[in-house]
Amino acid sequence: MSAPSSGVLAPVAHAAPKPWVTDFVMLAAIWGSSFLFMRIGALEFGPLPTAAVRVTIAALFLLPLVWLRGLLPELKKHWRRTFFIGLLNSGIPFACFSFALLSISTGLSAILNATVPMFGALIAWAWLNDKLNASRLLGLLIGFAGVALLAWDKASFKPDASGVAPGWAVLACLLACVCYGISASYTKRYLSGLPPLVTAAGSQIGATLGLAVPALWLWPARMPGTSAWLALLAVGVVCTGLAYIVFFRLIENAGPPRALSVTFLVPVFAVLYGVVFLGEAVTPWMVGCAAVIVCGTALSTGLLRLGRDHTLTR
């Protein structure tokens, strides 16, 4: 790959507003609140039961909609792949973030979640032969450097007051991000053209089945309180059921890299919610690392580019 002819950052030429922009902003606001609700739930339910209750509520919310729309035959036809994508795109990531939120703040979790487009771009390049030019390659390097700086600040693997080491919490968030990146390319390759409602419902049913046994095994001995149940009801219906309809529609209309770049805006909302409702502190180090990650992610997804890039293909 030859060097770019210009090192000046230039925004992509402005075009007419895309039909998916409204979905993009709405999804960021919804998913930003999910970290708040998961933290409230995980403190009383524990990580795996929190994830299981979340996807179960979402499945119960979505399945009647599939039936009312006459889409049950589509769900039955594609149940294997939609169930699988649910475990990869919901079950594992939700459990990872619920675990992480016992130790680190909602804002930090959301900032780490902003690496999803970088993993998505790398996976789409390797799997779907999505073009990776000099700008996007540089963006990956910058973004992962930002993650390393942010993670270094939380590198301790000694358990804190919550009983969870911050270092393991950071790794859990990154594992969730890898799962999201894989699932986006899988959806584009194998579920393209399927109604978003079918993909969303099938994925939540699959995640529910995958988490049922471990969640029951780890169910808390003391029944969680009303606030924890309401938090999981909100995260199940709004942040999962409704949000995944919008998300899979974004993948269909805008493609995996752009759909995953919704995580640019998620930390903004998550940090705001965390400060307002949980009194969380935002440090200058977090803000600086977040800026590096967002810059890298913008480059890696093509939202920013270097002048006259050369393309790297497989």
Name the pLDDT band for 2 (thresholds 50, 70, 90). very low
The strand ranges marked E within the chain are 9-11, 132-133, 304-306, 311-312
Distance (Å, whole) CA 54 – CA 211: 10
Distance (Å, whole) CA 116 – CA 292: 14
pLDDT greater at residue 249 or residue 222: 222
Distance (Å, whole) CA 190 – CA 182: 12
Distance (Å, whole) CA 252 – CA 200: 13
Query: In the prediction, which pLDDT does 124 show?
Result: 86
Report which residue type is found at 173: C
Distance (Å, whole) CA 78 – CA 70: 15
Query: In the prediction, which pLDDT does 307 show?
Result: 63
User: Which residues, other chains included, contact 66 with Cβ-Cβ below 8 Å and sequence gap of 6+?
Assistant: 72, 75, 197, 198, 201
Query: In the prediction, which pLDDT does 177 show?
Result: 94
Distance (Å, whole) CA 220 – CA 278: 23
Query: In the prediction, which pLDDT does 66 show?
Result: 96
Q: What is the pLDDT of residues 265-275, one digit of tens each?
A: 788 888 889 98
What are the phi and psi torsion angles at 311 (to 5°)?
-95, 135
pLDDT greater at residue 290 or residue 19: 290
Reading the block at residue 125, the tokens are 């390049």
Query: In the prediction, which pLDDT does 150 show?
Result: 79
For residues 199-209, one letter each, b for 16 or more C-beta atoms within 10 angstroms of the residue's C-beta and e for the rest, the string is bbbbbbbbbbb
Name the pLDDT band for 254 (thresholds 50, 70, 90). confident
Query: In the prediction, which pLDDT does 235 show?
Result: 95
Query: In the prediction, which pLDDT does 156 show?
Result: 60
Distance (Å, whole) CA 144 – CA 173: 14
Mean pLDDT check: name the lowest of 55-64, 86-95, 120-129. 120-129
For residue 13, pLDDT beyond 60: no
Q: What is the pLDDT of residues 163-195, one digit of tens each?
A: 777 889 999 999 999 999 999 899 889 998 899
Q: What is the pLDDT of residues 101-153, one digit of tens each?
A: 999 889 889 888 888 888 888 898 888 877 778 887 888 888 888 888 877 76
Query: In the prediction, which pLDDT does 179 show?
Result: 96
Q: Strand, coil or helix: what is 306? A: strand
Name the pLDDT band for 81 (thresholds 50, 70, 90). very high
Angle between helices 243-254 and 196-217 (to 10 degrees): 130
What would the 3-class secondary structure string for 30-42 be?
A: HHHHHHHHHHHHH
Name the pLDDT band for 12 (thresholds 50, 70, 90). very low
Distance (Å, whole) CA 288 – CA 266: 16
Reading the block at residue 277, the tokens are 């409702």
Task: Tell me the average pLDDT across 94-104.
Answer: 94
Query: In the prediction, which pLDDT does 310 show?
Result: 53
Mean pLDDT check: name the lowest of 10-14, 39-43, 86-90, 218-222. 10-14
For residue 278, pLDDT beyond 80: yes
Task: Tell me the average pLDDT across 290-308.
Answer: 77
Residue 255 half-sphere exposure, CB side, CA atoms within 13 Å? 13
Name the pLDDT band for 10 (thresholds 50, 70, 90). very low
Name the pLDDT band for 311 (thresholds 50, 70, 90). low
pLDDT greater at residue 160 or residue 236: 236
